[in-house]
Chain A
Amino acid sequence: MAGIPPAGRVLKPGRFHWLVGALVAAGAICVFFPFFWMAVTSLKTVPEIQRVPLQIAPDDWTNLANFREVFHRQPFGRFLLNSALVASVSALSSVVVSSLAGYGFAKFRFPGHGIFFFAIVGILMVPFQSVVVPLYLWVSRLDLLDTYLGILAPDLVSVFGVFLMRQSIEVVPTDYIDAARIDGAGEFGIFWRVILPSVKPALATLVIVKFMWTWNELFWPLVVINSPTMKVVTLGLVSFTNMYFIEYNLVTAAAVLSILPILIVFLVCQKWVVRGVVMSGLKG
């Protein structure tokens, strides 16, 4: 593992190499700190949270009362399952459709390809709040309220995915594709066997990003879900805030619970991304 020099190492390391490493590490710790804070707050009782002067460590590091309360108030386990299912389906379907579309936009010139691509990117520019009521009415007419498909409706394909896939597939050399065509491979076969393996890091990135994005969606699930057993994690989290006060102890506990599954997905996929990314740095 240590024997593969990344491309950046062709130049000799400068005098300030250690400084760069230290700054990066310091930045990472600063960025990470709010999470530490969140985790620590979830172990505190309510009076502890209110206490001044501030105390970082909880009185009792094994105080799991907040977590118990979160599960007691709402079927939070069910929420985690629902979120996992919805986010997984969304990530997978996004990867499939986005990579297909990315390939189409990157390597083919059909009439209207520029306009279609720009139109898709344009969807990102529309505030979701302004389409939520019409979209809800459609979903409601199709009887998809309170169903997984209803929750998934706006999340099955990702605009960012199409963008990313197009970028990534664009750099695959065209003559390689042409060579495969000459060899008699069908279009889909080329996609499956030539294109996809070349863009594995981008695919993994898309999976992670789309999974997280759908996992953390609040507004659409809020509007489309009624049944307590169909709710997702974000709804559970926000139920500990209302117009009068915020229950920080429960919100942080719920947030910790909601991050754990994502962390797992990230750690699994990330190995693939970073290593894969390093591998592709060997080009040339």
Chain B
Amino acid sequence: MGGPTSPPYPPRSERPGGPGRSSIFREPPREARGGSVSAIVSLFAPRSYMDRQRRAGLFFVLPALLYFSAVFLVPLVESVSGSFYRTVPGGTTQFVGWRLYEKVLTDPSFWQAVGNTVSLLLMSVPATVVLALTVALGLHRLRSLRWRSTWTAMYFLPFSVSLVAAALIWQWLYDPLYGLLNHLLRGVGLPPLKWLQSLDMVRPSLAIVNVWLRLGFDTIIFLAALQAIPGEYYEAASIDGASRWQALRRVTLPLLNPQIVMVTILELIFNFKVFDTVYATTQGGPAGASQTVIMLLYDTAFKYFRLGEASVMAVFVFVSLLLVTLVQWRVFRRQVEY
């Protein structure tokens, strides 16, 4: 595979289409919005080219839909309905309505776990996104393809290691006595830190591990997007006399907006659900300072055998993430003017 291959489709500048092409979730065209019944009917009896189009679309999507329904729909429904039942000693369940919701949502340790999770989130997500963007921009500027591949591979490597192994390695690095980090600190004359064993430092330490794990993945996404930006935009910008910084702000970042939003959403979801790394290192300690919502969920389900309360927590997680994603989509999505 040598030499340039011509792109299989005409360059972006020649493409029709107005603003809004870069957003993730597009508004459906007017004809599909109204009269959905007739739209569904037209699927089965396609009368026009458009109807056949729609039917084709549905068929393309069908395998994925069927799979997700089969695998996740029923367990999901069972799990949610489980939030209305409580397990009594002996193993049977009894219907209790909203009582478990009341119990969980008024429990201070639940909210402490939520607080810990949010605090971890606020540390990990912006850091990951900003660092990934910075690294991708830096990699993008590298002339040598070989070096770019090498560094990219090294950034991506943490993604390849099992979460448990990563957590154990970092626990070792953070060890106050013979961890490498304190060894380095002592080497430059600074006092050693307690890292995972300090009430104040445990969450930042875990946030660092999360950033380390996810950085490469986001970097690759940004890098791919950066390399898809046609050079003519930068040409136009430099002709207009824009400085590097202005070019970054006015050209690059807006064009990266869809990826930035997608990455932020994904990071939010994954960091909210953080479990393995915390479980393998601090187990929620010290004194509950690093207990996250999913850890509490796991303990509630499988150590305390309270499956009903665990389902309530799952519903809470789902609803929270849904709301946050919706907010992100509405607030941060930008229509891009070409």
The answer to whether B13 has its CB under 8 Å from any CB of chain A is yes
Contacts A7-B231, A32-B157 given; 20 further ones with Cβ under 8 A? A21-B141, A28-B154, A53-B178, A103-B60, A110-B61, A120-B64, A121-B325, A126-B79, A130-B314, A134-B78, A159-B68, A162-B64, A175-B16, A187-B60, A251-B165, A262-B160, A266-B160, A277-B224, A279-B5, A280-B227
Is B199 close to A, CB under 8 A?
A: no
List residues of chain B with CB within 8 A of the CB of A6. Answer: 140, 227
Query: Does A54 contact B183, Cβ atoms closer than 8 Å?
Result: yes
Q: Count the B residues whose beta carbon is within 8 Å of the partner chain — how many? A: 128
Q: List 18 A-B contacts (CB under 8 A).
A: A21-B138, A37-B172, A54-B179, A97-B67, A98-B64, A103-B60, A105-B57, A108-B54, A120-B64, A120-B68, A125-B269, A252-B165, A254-B165, A277-B228, A278-B227, A282-B4, A283-B228, A283-B230
In the complex, per-residue mask of A81-111: 1 if CB is within 8 Å of any chain B CB, else 0: 0000000000000000110110111011111
**Given known contacts A129-B310, A138-B75, A281-B228, A108 and B57 CB-to-CB distance under 8 angstroms:** yes
User: Once the chains are docked, how many angstroms separate the CA of A25 from the CA of B154?
Assistant: 9
B7, B28, B325: the one within 8 Å of A109 (CB): B28
Q: Is A79 an interface residue (CB 8 A)?
A: no
Residues of A within 8 A of B (CB-CB), count = 128
Knowing A38-B169, A176-B9 are in contact, say whether A123-B151 is a contact too (CB < 8 A). no
In the complex, A24 Cα to B7 Cα: how many Å? 30
**Which of A11-19, A59-67, A68-76 sits within the interface?**
A11-19
Does A173 have its Cβ within 8 Å of any Cβ on chain B? yes
CA distance A50 to B172 in the complex (A): 11
**CB closest chain-A residue, reference B72:** A123
Contacting residues, chain B, for A126 (C-beta < 8 A): 72, 76, 79, 314, 317-318
* Contact, CB under 8 Å: A176 / B8: yes
Given contacts A54-B178, A109-B32, A176-B10, whether A104 and B143 have CB atoms under 8 Å apart is: no
B152 at the interface (CB under 8 A from A): yes
Complex: how many Å from CA A201 to CA B152? 15
Q: Is A57 an interface residue (CB 8 A)?
A: no
Binds A, one of B88-96, B106-114, B120-128, B211-219: B211-219
Residues of B close to A176: CB separation below 8 A: 8-10
Binary flags per residue of A243-276, CB closer than 8 Å to B gives 1, else 0: 0001010011011001100110011001101110
Are A237's CB and B138's CB within 8 A?
no
Q: Give, as a whole number of angstroms, the nearest-CB distance from B9 to chain A.
A: 4
Query: B166-183, CB under 8 A of A: which get 1 and which 0?
Result: 101110110001111001
B81 and chain A: residue at smallest CB distance: A134
**B220 — which chain A residues lie within 8 A by C-beta?**
205, 273
Min CB distance A193 to B, Å, is 9
A124 and B155 CA atoms in complex are apart in Å by: 24
In the complex, which of the residues B39, B223, B298 contacts A111, with contact meaning CB atoms closer than 8 Å? B39
Q: For residues 109 through 127 of chain A, which have their beta carbon under 8 Å from a beta carbon of chain B?
A: 109-114, 116-127
Closest 6 CB pairs of A and B: A108-B57, A284-B230, A104-B60, A130-B314, A101-B64, A104-B61
B interface secondary structure, majority: helix
Q: Label chain A's interface by main secondary structure.
A: helix
Does the CB pair B217–A37 fall under 8 Å?
no
Interface 0/1 of A153-194, CB less than 8 Å to B: 110110110110011001111111000000000010001001
Q: Which B residues form the contact surface with A (CB < 8 A)? A: 1, 4-5, 7-13, 15-17, 21, 24-25, 28-29, 31-32, 36, 39-40, 43, 53-61, 63-65, 67-68, 71-72, 74-76, 78-79, 135, 138-145, 147-166, 168-170, 172-173, 177-180, 183, 212, 215-217, 220-221, 223-224, 226-232, 234-235, 238, 244, 247, 258-259, 262, 266, 269, 273, 275-276, 280, 294, 297-298, 301-302, 307, 310-311, 313-314, 317-318, 321-322, 325
Q: Known interface pairs A131-B72, A277-B227. Does A100 touch B183 (Cβ–Cβ under 8 Å)?
A: no
Q: Is the CB of A111 within 8 A of B32?
A: yes
Residue contact B178 to A8, C-beta cutoff 8 Å: no
User: Within the assembled complex, what's the spacing in Å between the Cα atoms of A120 and B58?
Assistant: 14
Residue among B160, B162, B314 making CB contact with A263, cutoff 8 Å: B160
